Amino acid sequence: MDNPLLDFADLPRFAEVRPDHITPAVDQVLAAARATVEAITADDVPATWDAVLAPLADATEKISWVWDPVSHLNAVVNTPALREAYNSNLAKISEFYTELGQNLGLFAKVKALAASADYASLSPARRQIISHQLRDFRLSGAELPDAEKARFADIQARLSELSARFSQNVLDATDGFARYIEDVAELDGLPDDVLEMMHAAAEADGKPGYKLKLHFPFYFPVMQYANHRALRESMYHANATRAAEFGPAELDNTLLIGETLSLRDEEARLLGFANYAEVSLAPKMADSPSQVIAFLRDMAARAKPFAQRDRAELEAFARDELGLNELQAWDLAWVSEKLRVARYDFSEQEVKAYFAEQRVLDGLFAIISKLFDVDIHPQAATLWHPDARFWEVRRNGQVVAQFYTDLYAREGKRGGAWMADIRARRLLADGRLQIPVALLTCNFTAPVGDKPALFTHDEVITLFHEFGHGLHHMLTEVDELGVSGINGVEWDAVELPSQFMENFCWEWDVLSHMTAHVDSGEPLPRALFDKMLAAKNFQSGMMAVRQVELALFDMLLHAELDAKGEFMALLDAVRAEVAVNPTPAYNRLPHSFSHIFAGGYAAGYYSYKWAEVLSADAYAAFEETGHANPAVGEAFRREVLAVGGSRPAIDSFRAFRGRDPQIDALLRHTGLVASEVSAE
């Protein structure tokens, strides 16, 4: 039978994958992997790299080659049939990895290899993989007595099911909302291109007027521009109560959250940890929950005076200029945009007209080319949707990596932006080199009619961010699967290259080459850029405390909350401690907080702030030597991007920077330095 998922000759044949291909393909690779595990754990097999870990990498890589495209399709072109096949096979995949993590025969082989005379002669990358594996066996419950092992396996299976359900509920609650408005007067304030998009969406449903949705390109402009306050309020309410007890019971994530927290807590105790936060931190750069909590509280203390100033300014402006005496959650973005325009004399909409998609991509590729000595070219490939595109990365004419992009929001596609990998770099046994392949997914505004897609500056920053992850994966020079690219990189250091790349969106030499006004073709005027720059740290105090609020909630939830505790009460307490903007009592942020309940960031959301210290300090090396300096780019590529997970992130940072990370650059870049608290 010709099952495209089992064709490993080339890249996935995305367009040909049907839901009924999934089960046979998964069953086949899982059976083959089980046979391999059986064979390599036999008594007479020597505990060597070639006899044990090389065949294991081959077998598990095949599982990824089947499952990664399935996960991707499930995330970006979701259908009921695909979802059902995904869910039923996810359980089998999760079961296999739980079994593997608890396989004592395999654990014994890896321990014997680590203790063998051969060990010292292995490459640093291989030794790093072995040390990660020993750690992961312990974290997978390999050392537990049999009865507890079975319980541990049940917990893993259930957690993976809960995570998939959580994410599906958020998607369905988002997709399930629609509001049609016929009278354009109700949409007063919205920019023309947003109205056009809403009109096209209504038309597609055979309705007159305009369609409002909760997808970000629809939702956010309403919050930012709609002058009709009651409309903003009702949209805010719809968004803030997604997947909660106020909507359809089958989409309510309340019980899923409770069960997830309680199972994570039980898992941690089985493994001998005090709480799940300790489990989460075991493979990360940070040492302990208390260290992270102290870091976040320190950030909050530094940022809060600035955030309070931001809030006071916003209140004064709303009162004096807009006649709004009580600033509500649904007024924040609207008043902020008005204040921004008043103070800096430009609107996001005005900026957006300069960022047409292809021009932005060309500019991004040009800076990548200058810094890292590679070229990017479009290529033909089989794709899953007409929005998707395929590209090659070449160095000296040689293809070193490939990637896919899928940039626009649409129904059936998970929100947010992310990078995933579909192939990792690996030197094969026959001497051939397998090159890395990345998937870059965003949810930007799709083009309407024959106009190109226009990106906001924030969207441009998101694109650079995801490309930073992509470069980390694609410019690796590591030959071992387990630690090449982003594989094996500590989770709280993984945002270093991505947040690092964001900085270039504030460089005139970079930006000026990636703009052309959608109507006139003129590049971004310097005067407008100067205004953007002046506004760069607008409300940065408020943004910093918002990030700390989410991160501290996540960490305390997994470090201190009793398994039966009230997570909403904890969130209220965190907000009382760090937030400056009051939140309505009905706000159910946790119910759509997919990062920590469906995205692998549990007790890890702090990673963004943590890595921002590293990325800001790394970027300061460019500032110190002249911006976009190719020699510094080369050092960053060599010491950070190329080495991937083959050594601890702190070692890579020190090799690049020549010292330990310092927080000063982050505080300076975001305007959170004491001398500025009284300045305008």
Catalytic positions are 466
Beta-strand ranges (E) seen in 65-130 are: none
Burial of 478 (0-12, 13-18, 19+ CB in 10 A): buried
Among all residues, whose Cβ is closest to Zn ion?
498
3-state secondary structure of 356: strand
Q: Which stretch binds Zn ion (CB under 5 A): 75-83, 151-159, 284-292, 491-499?
A: 491-499
3-state helix, strand, coil in the chain (%, to 5): 60, 5, 30
Q: Under rule CB under 5 A, which residues in 549-608 are in contact with Zn ion?
A: none
**Which amino acid is residue 299, in one-letter code?**
M
Cβ nearer to Zn ion, comparing 424 with 440: 440
Q: Which stretch binds Zn ion (CB under 5 A): 30-38, 91-99, 496-504, 534-542?
A: 496-504
Indicate left, alpha or beta for 449 from its phi (over 0: left) and psi (-120 to 50: alpha): left
Q: Which residues contact 339 (CB under 8 A, 6 or more apart)?
A: 313, 314, 317
- Chain center to CA of 377: 25
> DSSP label at 392?
E
Question: What are the structure tokens assigned to 38, written together?
Answer: 């059986």
What is the distance between the alpha carbons of residues 258 and 252, in angstroms, rounded to a whole number? Answer: 12
Q: Report in angstroms how near the CB of residue 498 gets to Zn ion at its nearest.
A: 4
Q: Report in angstroms how near the CB of residue 491 gets to Zn ion at its nearest.
A: 11
Half-sphere exposure of 147 (CA within 13 A, CB side): 0
Q: Report in angstroms how near the CB of residue 595 gets to Zn ion at its nearest.
A: 10
Residue 18 CA: distances (Å) to CA of 167, 426, 451: 22, 29, 33
The DSSP bridge partners found for residue 440 are 405, 419
What is the distance between the alpha carbons of residues 359 and 354, in angstroms, rounded to a whole number? Answer: 9
Q: Report in angstroms how near the CB of residue 52 gets to Zn ion at its nearest.
A: 34
Cβ nearer to Zn ion, comparing 441 with 498: 498
Cβ nearer to Zn ion, comparing 247 with 436: 436
What is the distance between the alpha carbons of residues 651 and 654, in angstroms, rounded to a whole number? Answer: 5
Q: Which stretch binds Zn ion (CB under 5 A): 25-33, 125-133, 333-341, 489-497?
A: 489-497
Cβ nearer to Zn ion, comparing 353 with 494: 494
Greatest alpha-carbon pair distance for the chain in Å reads 82
What is the distance between the alpha carbons of residues 479 and 554, in angstroms, rounded to a whole number? Answer: 35
Residue 4 parent element (H or E): none
Residue closest to 23 by CA, chosen among 94, 82, 75: 82
User: What number of chain residues touch Zn ion (CB under 5 A)?
Assistant: 2
Cβ nearer to Zn ion, comparing 524 with 640: 640
Q: Which stretch binds Zn ion (CB under 5 A): 265-273, 296-304, 387-395, 497-505?
A: 497-505
Residue 397's CB: how many other CB atoms inside 10 A? 6
Phi, psi of 208, rounded to the nearest 5 degrees = -80, 165
Q: Report in angstroms how near the CB of residue 585 gets to Zn ion at its nearest.
A: 31
**Which amino acid is residue 77, in one-letter code?**
V
Q: Report in angstroms how near the CB of residue 460 gets to Zn ion at its nearest.
A: 15
Q: Report in angstroms how near the CB of residue 584 gets to Zn ion at its nearest.
A: 29
Cβ nearer to Zn ion, comparing 516 with 616: 616
Chain position carrying tokens 């909350």: 561
Phi, psi of 389, rounded to the nearest 5 degrees = -140, 165
Q: Which stretch binds Zn ion (CB under 5 A): 235-243, 388-396, 455-463, 498-506?
A: 498-506
Q: Which stretch binds Zn ion (CB under 5 A): 299-307, 335-343, 487-495, 513-521?
A: 487-495
Q: Which stretch binds Zn ion (CB under 5 A): 47-55, 495-503, 590-598, 626-634?
A: 495-503
Cβ nearer to Zn ion, comparing 555 with 611: 611
Is 646 among the residues that bind Zn ion (CB under 5 A)? no
Q: Report in angstroms how near the CB of residue 494 gets to Zn ion at its nearest.
A: 7
Burial of 308 (0-12, 13-18, 19+ CB in 10 A): middle
Q: Report in angstroms how near the CB of residue 199 gets to Zn ion at its nearest.
A: 33
Phi, psi of 124, rounded to the nearest 5 degrees = -55, -35
What's the chain's Rg over C-alpha atoms?
Answer: 25
Q: Report in angstroms how near the CB of residue 418 gets to Zn ion at its nearest.
A: 7
Residue closest to 132 by CA, chosen among 114, 152, 154: 114
- Write the DSSP assignment of 71-82 as a string of letters: HHHHHHS--HHH
Q: Report in angstroms how near the CB of residue 469 gets to Zn ion at its nearest.
A: 6
Residue 667 parent element (H or E): helix 664-669
Cβ nearer to Zn ion, comparing 495 with 549: 495
Burial of 258 (0-12, 13-18, 19+ CB in 10 A): middle
Q: Report in angstroms how near the CB of residue 419 gets to Zn ion at its nearest.
A: 7
- Judged by CB under 5 A, which of 498, 539, 581, 615 binds Zn ion? 498
Question: What are the structure tokens assigned to 33, written together?
Answer: 């992997």
Residue closest to 19 by CA, chosen among 75, 84, 106, 72: 84
What is the distance between the alpha carbons of residues 52 and 106, in angstroms, rounded to a whole number? Answer: 8
Q: Which stretch binds Zn ion (CB under 5 A): 203-211, 379-387, 493-501, 515-523?
A: 493-501
Question: For every residue of 486-515, which 3-state class applies, written as one string?
Answer: CCCCCHHHCHHHHHHHHHHHHCHHHHHHHC
Q: Which residues bind Zn ion (CB under 5 A)?
A: 495, 498
